[in-house]
Structure 1
């Protein structure tokens, strides 16, 4: 259960990075970087989520 919450937090954190409104702030120049980090975070943690789920299914048989 501990890894489940870690991976879920990583996916939600990536989504938050993508959806962060930075227009009209000092961070507006970082918008493409935040989007890239968010997408990469979601891909990595979603992949780990799937791998962990498949490994759990195989170990419980």
Structure 2
């Protein structure tokens, strides 16, 4: 199995962590929208990459 797939899965999980991290009442509260956007982008991009790899593997020899 390709080891990059596990890296992509770890990136998706870290995207979920960026979305769910509680930054209220801290000095980082002002960057909470930025972490949410980065988390959503990471989830979307790497989910699409995993779907691409799956479809490519399905139709290969």
The two structures share one fold, judged by TM-score above 0.5:
yes
CA–CA separation in structure 2 for the residues paired with 1:10 and 1:57: 23
1:20-59 equivalent positions in 2, closer than 5 A: 20-59=21-60
Deviation, structure 1 residue 7: 1.1
Could you list the structure 1 runs, at least 4 aligned residues long, displaced by more than 6 angstroms after superposition: none
Aligned CA-pair RMSD: 0.9
Unaligned segments of structure 1, at least 5 residues: none
TM-score, with structure 2 as normaliser: 0.91
Query: Residue 23 of structure 1: SS of its match in structure 2?
Result: coil
Match of 1:7?
8
CA–CA separation in structure 1 for the residues paired with 2:4 and 2:57: 11
